């Protein structure tokens, strides 16, 4: 992978799920340096004259959640037609991996599918105007499922991914937190795209992995209360994924699509 990226610039753009995939990727390399400035983190693989970068933009468009550290706001606001605010930092990349999903699902009073469609159109319009398909490969990673409702897989009601140690073995399983309507929007908009965007569909395979989340082992930004400690289910993180783990598989798929399209 790194040999193929020699002399090139690869960039992940999106939210913390994309950051997890980015971290999975940079863990491949030993001789390295990493530098963060605002929303942009740059990993330099010195031996390969390559950079692998992550840019925090959870909506892709400008929003009030754009601070890479302080972005926990209750009322999320997105500015329509504002992708260039972030997009100027993405120009010149040889590989761009976009994602956006989870942040659209809460705190919105607008119709989610319509808002998400707006973001997809903005992303593809930006790629068409600013990227040369002969030089740059553009990918989009589908929604990353959560496992916050154990009832979805026939578990004990009121529980979540905490203490789950085995995958779901039902091949048709699809969690309630993964909106099929959003997948439909992606399919419709990508089908009309004038820029070749490669779709990295990680949703179904990730749906099975209720055992792969950070759960109670995530970094806690504030001390846990006695009540929380007494009930681990209450603070288990069933959104993000352990590394090494599932997101390494996402990057294996990315590798296959990048070099064997």
Token duo for residue 66: 């754009």
Q: 24 and 250 in contact (C-beta within 8 Å)? A: yes
Burial 139-175 (b: 16+ CB within 10 A, else e): bbbbbbbbbbbbebbebeeebbbbebeebbeeeebeb
State the catalytic residues. Answer: 16, 237, 240
The Cβ of residue 44 has, within 10 Å, a number of other Cβ atoms equal to 18
**CA 91 centroid distance within chain:** 20
CA-based nearest residue to 94, from 62, 124, 53: 53
Task: Supply angle C-alpha 101, 106, 110, rounded to 5.
Answer: 95
Give the whole-angstrom CA distance, residue 157 versus residue 57.
Answer: 34
The Cβ of residue 35 has, within 10 Å, a number of other Cβ atoms equal to 11
Which DSSP string corresponds to 152-174? GGT--TT--STT--S----TT--
CA-based nearest residue to 13, from 112, 108, 130: 130
Token duo for residue 25: 């990727």
């Amino acid at each position: 992978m790194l040999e193929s990226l020699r002399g090139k610039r690869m960039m992940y753009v999106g939210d913390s799920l994309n950051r997890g995939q980015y971290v999975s990727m940079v863990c491949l390399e030993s001789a390295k340096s990493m530098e963060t400035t605002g929303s942009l983190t740059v990993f330099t693989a010195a031996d390969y004259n390559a950079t692998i970068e992550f840019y925090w933009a959870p909506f892709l468009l400008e929003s009030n959640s754009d601070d890479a550290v302080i972005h926990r706001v209750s009322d999320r606001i997105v500015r329509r037609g504002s992708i260039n605010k972030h997009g100027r930092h993405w120009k010149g990349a040889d590989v761009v991996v976009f994602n956006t999903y989870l942040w659209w699902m809460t705190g919105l009073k607008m119709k989610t599918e319509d808002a998400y469609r707006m973001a997809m159109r903005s992303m593809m319009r930006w790629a068409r105007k600013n990227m040369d398909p002969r030089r740059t490969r553009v990918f989009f990673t589908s929604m990353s499922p959560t496992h916050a409702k154990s009832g979805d897989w026939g578990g004990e009601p009121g529980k979540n991914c905490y203490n789950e140690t085995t995958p779901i073995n039902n091949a048709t399983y699809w969690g309630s937190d993964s909106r099929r309507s959003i997948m439909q929007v992606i399919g419709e908009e990508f089908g009309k795209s004038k820029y070749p965007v490669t779709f990295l569909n990680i949703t179904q395979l990730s749906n099975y992995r209720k055992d792969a989340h950070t759960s109670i082992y995530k970094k806690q930004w504030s001390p846990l209360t006695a009540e929380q400690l007494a009930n681990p289910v209450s603070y288990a993180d069933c959104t993000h994924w352990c590394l090494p783990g599932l997101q390494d598989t996402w990057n294996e798929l990315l590798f296959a699509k990048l070099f064997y399209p």
